[in-house]
Structure 1
């Protein structure tokens, strides 16, 4: 015999009921079958509303009754030929009249008891099961309707009755052994007490009804038909990369259902597990999908089977030095909670016996606090223990898998994934069977936690990285273009799905829930809201997305000032903006420490040398134990461009203007020509090599006349270049006379740094430096005789964007 259970959505409309009948018809000639059904979707909630409104003396319950009637009458009209509709409607109307009389009595009394509510709720399953039985007869199936209240016997704990299995099994076996029909349609969820009063088995009890019957008749399989294709590795509404679980053990299914997996009602598993009857979860609306088969443990693809969670948890902590070495505290704690019917979900205790922590539902925390403090009132008065500590707004996230015990580092992967995304763990519990690792976290972090854990344990097709980009001019625009061009490569070769969740410029900002289209983001930005860096940062933090990266393509001090806020929230920072790393040493050091503390990346390779691996090379040398002796470099692509093109017949002004037009200089070229930009770069390299240094410690041997340097505007600055044209020509002529070239050089040696214009001869590595190239010479213990040289294009939107792109990819690999 087989037992099939169909849930509320499977019975929610005439079309769905027809699908149920087709599924049952496909099982013809496979022996007898019990079909357990739920109420039509939404009906149970309406019935509960009827009872509560009537109990409150609110005649709005009548409107609910009308809606219930309409839904059932409409289903009959769509399911059956017109010639038999009136008789069927009459039968349903008779039941609804009884329901109305019950509600009228409650309305008159003004009180709704749990017993009355159970009676009211029973009508949902009674009506749907009767309709489905009639439809099966109408399509030619030899079906009978059987009231489950005549089969399942319970106590009188209304709302969540406990089954008397001895009597229940006797009733079930006696009936089905002798009944002649092939198909039996039974209402789920409802039962009857020894006093023959209607009881219910708790929300989700239809699954339980089916399991009870399957165990009693020793069915070969229990099929649960719902609106999803089986159990998933995580809730697909939260984790888009969740995948179906084809096979799962009874124990794993119980753990996942206990920790919030909604596909199966937790008590369902026990009756059939005792008989080793497989449970097959199938999709009514996709019957050919495999679904999930719950049975004894089989082959496993992953060490973790699934991830689930329970929302709205409170932690209770009993602690105090008076607990150490004294037996009985745990017993008294749990007894006091038991008296108030407070269910304990999680338990953890420190090895010092100084504290014990339990997790409960938030709805129980006030009565739990009161009863525990009362129980330990004397110890609290004597200062042996503290009053009960209660923490709320928490959730439990559980990782479940029979196979975890056979793999090392399961806990490490879990905690590492959470730590890298700045998700704080408030409590941990792991059973000795190693089937479950439970963590208590802020409920604000649940979505992010489920996603990062899923990425850590399942071979998801891609790892999602969420970018928030400020600055979409030359460099930022090229970055978005490169991200779009490399989208397929990143997914196919690196397993990365990089989504740009927001972009902003100085005027506007725009956020997108699913990521902006990289080939057409400009219209969205133009119609976006007014830019506010504070609002932009607050929105990023509130979204709390996993693997979040803030990208700064500006030269703004205001934007740089927000880095600490992002790092403190576990959001990585990638920047080409030199202001933060060239500010006060304490600020620079603080940002580096925040990145380490909150497991976030702080990437600023493009601060020096654009896309060249200048900083990474230096870091690798230092980390591997090398010691830097000196650094000599041409670090300004714009200045190198200027002096390479400043030849006989060219005015200095025209060359500077060309450099700005090409995007090689800052909007105010004086930042480059004054040496300020180069000072920042050599400062960053000195700091990265381990030296404590401020920008004021760097000697700047500038070449700009004061009138040009202090001009009130960029336009006036260019006028001053014309005024002092002969000054610049003399610098060039002096170098030409010696057969040398002008280069703006930065140097660091013996703890001191300087920048300035120098003439270099043909024997110097800088002499042949072309165009906008940069070059850095590192001399160290290992590179004493010949320096390590990093050389290449050091300016330009394309190369700078590519350097930022590379840093983004590095954040994803950490």
Structure 2
């Protein structure tokens, strides 16, 4: 069997749903299909969450999101089709969930999961309308996590046990399920991290011993840079698992960082293909050796630089570093790059406002703390002389760090 994953860009409109259906129909092997929320639905839900959590009216935004999905439904189904009521039911659940009084991250996961649920319901009903046997699966009944909301940690043993019965269903039906979401032992919805649908697909592929996982994107394959930023970017025909894992660690958005490990452990190849032109070769990530890879350039926006300065004229010590990393661990924050001088320790991380401000508050009890937001971290892996010189001289560099094969610069755009 094979696992496919389709992202939001491939499902942004009715034409996209038809195209996804055509791709599914063209493959005869048993298929489990993981889908993301349609188009920019996750962004819209995040706006709704921000408004509602802070007691602001989100009615207009909810109605706009409902209209967006209804417009897609109207192009795909007759007006009396059950897909309409199925989607409306999820929006009713969204309305009820908006009234809950709970922790922000728990609130976020409960709300934002609705995007994937809506998308999967629409695709499932359209497959059935095309006489393709389809089974809709709530991924939360299979993906078991702890209660680390927004970054749920998967219980692999329990998850594998829950997934095994799907083998029987796959004999004669395509399974349509959601990426990104899981569930705690107390039936609370969790998410696996932003853009976590790739990881969901890898979990299903690994536990079902799939022949392969294919991620369908709006690019021709894995590229050495974002073509929207660097139009001369090239496509890799193949990449070793190790190289791809490092790319994702540095923030390459084409694949979620946690996707590679479960596939590499089982030797399951990962294909990255273009949904607009499935005939393109794409990129295969597997166990291989590729010589003379070109520089890989990754841009990571929405970064925050925090500098902790000692206040008593001592030097930065292991004890002080321990305080900083303990606070980071408590808040579930990950450092992207770090650097220290005699009296200052600086580090860069994704700016998740509520958590980062809580971190700064904690650190201010021990250090003089300075911070900058709105930054971009640029990583050049496998740099050559030309790329090294170009990015070291980039305008607005606040922090620079290099090793034998990797250069990182943090800039103020």
Conserved 8 A contact 1:260-1:310: yes
1:234 corresponds to which residue?
Answer: 225
Conserved 8 A contact 1:37-1:185: yes
CA distance in 2 between counterparts of 1:422 and 1:159 reads: 34
Deviation at 1:154, TM superposition (A): 1.0
CA distance in 2 between counterparts of 1:37 and 1:264 reads: 14
2:91 corresponds to which residue?
Answer: 96
CA distance in 2 between counterparts of 1:223 and 1:134 reads: 22
**What are the residue-to-residue correspondences of 1:783-794 with 2, within 5 Å?**
none
Which protein has the bigger helix share? 1
CA distance in 1 between counterparts of 2:394 and 2:89 reads: 59
For residues 365 and 161 of structure 1, do their structure 2 counterparts lie closer, same or farther at Cα, with a shift above 3 Å needed?
A: closer
CA displacement 1:374-410 (0-9 Å, x = unmatched): 336xxxxxxxxxx456566653221224xx7xxxxx4
CA distance in 1 between counterparts of 2:151 and 2:174 reads: 28
Deviation at 1:217, TM superposition (A): 0.7
Within the candidate set 245, 259, 264, 2:255 is matched to 264
Deviation at 1:327, TM superposition (A): 5.3
**What are the residue-to-residue correspondences of 1:678-717 with 2, within 5 Å?**
none
Conserved 8 A contact 1:54-1:112: no
For residues 100 and 390 of structure 1, do their structure 2 counterparts lie closer, same or farther at Cα, with a shift above 3 Å needed?
A: closer
Is 1:70 aligned to 2:67, yes or no? Answer: yes
Is 1:11 aligned to 2:3, yes or no? Answer: no
1:359 corresponds to which residue?
Answer: 348
**What are the residue-to-residue correspondences of 1:547-558 with 2, within 5 Å?**
none
1:45 aligned counterpart, secondary structure: helix
For residues 429 and 330 of structure 1, do their structure 2 counterparts lie closer, same or farther at Cα, with a shift above 3 Å needed?
A: farther
**What are the residue-to-residue correspondences of 1:377-396 with 2, within 5 Å?**
387=368, 394-396=375-377
1:267 aligned counterpart, secondary structure: coil
CA distance in 1 between counterparts of 2:71 and 2:374 reads: 43
1:345 aligned counterpart, secondary structure: strand
Larger Rg: 1
2:165 aligned counterpart, secondary structure: helix
Deviation at 1:303, TM superposition (A): 4.5
1:398 corresponds to which residue?
Answer: 379
1:668 corresponds to which residue?
Answer: none
Conserved 8 A contact 2:86-2:121: no
**What are the residue-to-residue correspondences of 1:614-763 with 2, within 5 Å?**
none
Deviation at 1:56, TM superposition (A): 4.1
TM-score norm. by structure 1 comes to 0.46
Conserved 8 A contact 1:398-1:439: yes
CA distance in 1 between counterparts of 2:374 and 2:242 reads: 29
2:120 corresponds to which residue?
Answer: 129
Conserved 8 A contact 1:214-1:272: yes
Conserved 8 A contact 2:398-2:412: no
2:43 corresponds to which residue?
Answer: 45
Conserved 8 A contact 1:76-1:85: no
Within the candidate set 308, 313, 317, 2:298 is matched to 308
Gapped regions of structure 2 (runs ≥ 5): none
Conserved 8 A contact 1:337-1:368: yes
Within the candidate set 429, 443, 467, 2:412 is matched to 443
1:89 aligned counterpart, secondary structure: helix
CA displacement 1:91-120 (0-9 Å, x = unmatched): 3333333333433x44xx7x7754344233
1:280 corresponds to which residue?
Answer: 271
For residues 280 and 85 of structure 1, do their structure 2 counterparts lie closer, same or farther at Cα, with a shift above 3 Å needed?
A: farther
Deviation at 1:32, TM superposition (A): 1.1
**What are the residue-to-residue correspondences of 1:771-810 with 2, within 5 Å?**
none
CA distance in 2 between counterparts of 1:137 and 1:191 reads: 25
Identify which range, 253-262 or 228-237, moves more after superposition.
253-262
CA distance in 2 between counterparts of 1:391 and 1:441 reads: 11
CA distance in 1 between counterparts of 2:270 and 2:235 reads: 15
Is 1:173 aligned to 2:164, yes or no? Answer: yes
2:315 corresponds to which residue?
Answer: 323
Conserved 8 A contact 1:313-1:396: no
Deviation at 1:211, TM superposition (A): 0.9
1:153 aligned counterpart, secondary structure: coil
User: RMSD value over aligned CA atoms?
Assistant: 3.0
Conserved 8 A contact 2:377-2:410: yes
Deviation at 1:3, TM superposition (A): 0.4
CA distance in 1 between counterparts of 2:247 and 2:378 reads: 10
Conserved 8 A contact 1:418-1:424: no
Deviation at 1:191, TM superposition (A): 1.5
For residues 94 and 331 of structure 1, do their structure 2 counterparts lie closer, same or farther at Cα, with a shift above 3 Å needed?
A: closer
Deviation at 1:124, TM superposition (A): 1.8
For residues 139 and 397 of structure 1, do their structure 2 counterparts lie closer, same or farther at Cα, with a shift above 3 Å needed?
A: same
2:131 corresponds to which residue?
Answer: 140
For residues 425 and 295 of structure 1, do their structure 2 counterparts lie closer, same or farther at Cα, with a shift above 3 Å needed?
A: farther
Deviation at 1:340, TM superposition (A): 4.6
2:307 aligned counterpart, secondary structure: strand
**What are the residue-to-residue correspondences of 1:383-532 with 2, within 5 Å?**
387=368, 394-401=375-382, 410=384, 412-418=385-391, 426-430=399-403, 434=404, 436-444=405-413
1:194 corresponds to which residue?
Answer: 185
CA distance in 1 between counterparts of 2:335 and 2:394 reads: 29
CA displacement 1:631-650 (0-9 Å, x = unmatched): xxxxxxxxxxxxxxxxxxxx
CA displacement 1:263-322 (0-9 Å, x = unmatched): 222222222122221211111112122222222243235353x11122334152657984
CA distance in 2 between counterparts of 1:56 and 1:270 reads: 38
CA distance in 1 between counterparts of 2:55 and 2:177 reads: 34
For residues 93 and 392 of structure 1, do their structure 2 counterparts lie closer, same or farther at Cα, with a shift above 3 Å needed?
A: closer
Gapped regions of structure 1 (runs ≥ 5): 377-386, 405-409, 445-814
Conserved 8 A contact 1:249-1:296: yes
Question: Higher relative contact order at CA 8 Å, sep ≥6: structure 1 or structure 2?
Answer: 2
* Corresponding residue pairs, total: 409
Is 1:225 aligned to 2:216, yes or no? Answer: yes
